Structure 1
Amino acid sequence: MNYAQLLFPDFSLILCGYLICRFTALNRAVWGQVEVLVYYLLFPVLLFHSIVKSPLDFDAASSLIGAGWAMGLSGIALAYVLPHLPGLATHIDRRDHASSAQVAFRFNSFIGLAIADRVAGPQGLSLIAVLIGVCVPLFNVAAVWPMAKQGNAGFLRELVRNPLIIATASGLAANLMGFVLPTWLEPTVSRLGAASLALGLMAAGAGMQLGALAKGKALAIAVLSIRHFLLPLVALGMAYLFALDTTQTTVLLAFSALPTASSCYVLAARMGYDGAYVAGLVTLSTLLGVVSLPFALGLLRPLAQ
C-alpha cells in the first residue's frame, strides 16, 4: 500500500491552510477564530456523533482499549519524566515542559478519523472511534495536569470546561443508554462533523510556525521523539502483549503514529503559557506525521503479523 498517496488528501488540506494563511487576506487573525469554532463546536459535535452513531461493543474491543490505554500511559509517563532525566534536566525549562508535555501523547483526531477507513475499512473507523472515545478523557486530563500544577490553576475547573472531554463523556453516556440520534437531525450533525475535519486540518496548517522553537531544542526533540518514534514501538509491543488481530493492530499502529493534536497550542495559550512554542511543536509534529505513519503502517505492521 502506498501510504504517501493514502495520506495525501489530509496533508494537502494542511498545506492549503498554510498557503491561504500566509499568502491571502485570510490571515492568522481569521484562522484563530476558525480554531475556536472547531475546538468549541464542530469537533465536539464530530466526537459525540462518532461515538453515539454505532453501539459500542466494549467486550469485543476490550483488548484494543487495553492496548490503547497502556500505550497512552507509557507516553504520558515518558513525557512527565523528561525534566528528571540526567543530561536533560538542565536544558529543559519547567514552564515550557508543562505546556508541551501534551505534545508527546495527544493525537490529531482529524487525521485519525480521516485515514481510518482507508487503512482498515469501516471496521477500522469504528475501532478508532472507540479508541478516541476512551483515550480523549485520559489524555486531556494528563495534558491539563502539568499546566494547572505549574500555573497554580484550578485543575477540576479546567477539566469541566474542556469541550472535548464534555463531548466524549456525554457521547459515551448516551451510547451506553441506547440513545439514537433522530433521523431528521442526522444530516445536520454529519455535515458539522465533516466541516470539522476539513477546517481542522486547514487550521492546523494555518497555525504552523517554527521560529519559537529555537529556545527549547532539547525539549522539542524529546517530546517529538516520544510522539513519532517511541510510541509506535510501544504500540507494536502492546499489539503482541494484548494479542490483537490484524485490523486492531493496524488501527493501534495508525493511532500511535498520528501527529499531535492541533488543539495543543489552543489549550496552552488559553491556560496562559507560550502558545507560539507549542504551535511550533505542533507544526513539526504535523510534518513528521508524513514519516511516522508510513513507519508504523509500512515497516512495523508487517512485524506484527
Structure 2
Amino acid sequence: MLGAVNYAQLLFPDFSLIACGWALCRYTALNRRVWDQVESLVYYFLFPVLLFHSIVRSPLDFGATSSLLGAGVTMSLIGIGLSYSLPWLPWLRHYISRADHAASVQVAFRFNSFICLTLSERLAGAQGLLLIAVLIGVCVPLLNVASVWPMARHGNTGFLRQLVRNPLIIATASGLLANVLGLTVPNWLTPTLTRIGGASLALGLMAAGAGMQFATLGRGKALAVSVLSIRHFILPLVAWGLVHALKLDAAQAVVLMAFSAVPTASSAYVLASRMGYNGPFVAGLVTLSTLLAAASLPFALALPR
C-alpha cells in the first residue's frame, strides 16, 4: 500500500497545474479571453478524444468482473441520489442556490480517471488496471448523463437535446459501443490519441485554475461542504460496505476503495462553464477535491477488509 507521502506526490501534478492556470490568468497577458478559447478546445475536442480512447483501449470482461461492476454502479447511484437530494433536505435547502447545485452536483460522484488508472496499477498491478478499466467503461457514461441532467433541467434547455449534443456523452457512448463491438484503435494512431489525452488533462486543469475565484466558495459553503463530504467521506464508507456485502476479492476490493476516494473529474469545471453555469465555483470545488483526496485515499484504503 502506498504511504501518505506517495499520495501527495500522486496528486501534486494535478494541483500544480490548477495553480499554474490561476497564476497565468491573473498575472500575465493570458487573461480570461484566452482561457475561454482553451475551454472550448478542451470541451469540444480534447476531452472527447480522451474519453473515447480511455474506454475503447481496454477489453471489457463483464462476466469476470460482475460483482465489482455491481458494486461500482451501486456506489455511483447512491452518490447521485445523495447529491441530487441536497436541496430537499430541511436543514440545507435554505442555504443552497439551485443553480449552483445543478452545476456542482457532479463533483460529488464523478472521478479523475487518470488518477484511478495510476493508483489501481500501483495497488494491484496489471489485474488492477484491467479492473479499473472495466469500471471506468461502465460508470463514465452513467455519471456523465447524471452530470448533464440537473443543468439541462434547471436551464429548461431540454434534457434529450442536451444529451445528444453533449460532446462528452457522445464520446463515452461511442467508446463503449466500439468496445462492445470489439473495435480497436490502430497502432499507428495510438501515440497521437495518447498525446491528445495528455493535453486535455493538462489544459483542463489549467482552465479550472484560470476560472477559479475563491470568493465564490465562501458564498456557497453549505453546498461545498455537502458535495465534498459525499465525494470524500460518505462514498468511501458506502464502498466499504459493498466490499463486505458482495464479498469482493482482494484486488477488486482495493480497486473499489481507491475508486471511491479519488478526486473529482477535472472536466467538471469545463462542463459547468460551457453549459452557462457558475464555473468559478465548480473550479474551486475541483481544487479542494484534489487536496482532500490526499486524506480520503489513505482513509479509504485503511478501512478493514
TM-score calculated relative to the size of structure 2: 0.89
In structure 2, distance between residues paired with 1:25 and 1:3:
38
In structure 1, distance between residues paired with 2:14 and 2:30:
15
Aligned length: 301
- Secondary structure in 1 aligned to 2:85? helix
- Secondary structure in 2 aligned to 1:71? helix
Q: Which residue of 2 aligns with 1:19?
A: 20
Query: What does 1:142-181 correspond to in 2, within 5 Å?
Result: 142-181=146-185
Measure how far apart 1:59 and its partner are: 0.5
Q: Which residue of 2 aligns with 1:276?
A: 280
Query: What does 1:1-305 correspond to in 2, within 5 Å?
Result: 1-19=2-20, 21-22=22-23, 25-26=29-30, 29-297=33-301, 299-300=302-303, 303-304=304-305
Q: Which amino acid aligns with 1:293?
A: L
In structure 2, distance between residues paired with 1:27 and 1:59:
50
Q: Which amino acid aligns with 2:166?
A: N
Q: Is contact 1:112–1:128 with CA below 8 Å preserved after alignment?
A: yes
Measure how far apart 1:201 and its partner are: 4.5
Measure how far apart 1:172 and its partner are: 1.6
* Residues 244 and 205 (structure 1), Cα distance of their counterparts in 2 relative to 1, 3 Å cut: farther
In structure 2, distance between residues paired with 1:29 and 1:248:
45
Q: Is contact 1:102–1:264 with CA below 8 Å preserved after alignment?
A: yes
Q: Which amino acid aligns with 2:13?
A: S
Q: Is contact 1:18–1:208 with CA below 8 Å preserved after alignment?
A: no
Measure how far apart 1:134 and its partner are: 0.9
| Structure 1 unmatched runs, 5+ | none
TM-score calculated relative to the size of structure 1: 0.89
Q: Is contact 1:208–1:282 with CA below 8 Å preserved after alignment?
A: no
* Residues 21 and 139 (structure 1), Cα distance of their counterparts in 2 relative to 1, 3 Å cut: same
* Residues 20 and 103 (structure 1), Cα distance of their counterparts in 2 relative to 1, 3 Å cut: closer
- Deviating more after overlay: 165-174 vs 107-116: 107-116
Task: Compute the RMSD of aligned alpha carbons.
Answer: 2.2
CA deviations 1:176-213 (Å, max 9, x no partner) are: 21212222222222332333344444545555442211
Q: Is contact 1:10–1:201 with CA below 8 Å preserved after alignment?
A: no
* Residues 28 and 257 (structure 1), Cα distance of their counterparts in 2 relative to 1, 3 Å cut: farther
* Residues 203 and 243 (structure 1), Cα distance of their counterparts in 2 relative to 1, 3 Å cut: farther
- Deviating more after overlay: 191-200 vs 160-169: 191-200
Q: Is contact 2:99–2:154 with CA below 8 Å preserved after alignment?
A: yes
Sequence identity, in percent? 65
* Residues 50 and 146 (structure 1), Cα distance of their counterparts in 2 relative to 1, 3 Å cut: closer
Measure how far apart 1:20 and its partner are: 5.6
Measure how far apart 1:117 and its partner are: 1.8
CA deviations 1:155-178 (Å, max 9, x no partner) are: 112111222222221112112212
In structure 1, distance between residues paired with 2:126 and 2:201:
17
- Secondary structure in 2 aligned to 1:58? coil
Q: Which amino acid aligns with 2:69?
A: I
| Structure 2 unmatched runs, 5+ | none
* Residues 129 and 3 (structure 1), Cα distance of their counterparts in 2 relative to 1, 3 Å cut: farther
In structure 1, distance between residues paired with 2:204 and 2:250:
29
Q: Which amino acid aligns with 1:150?
A: H
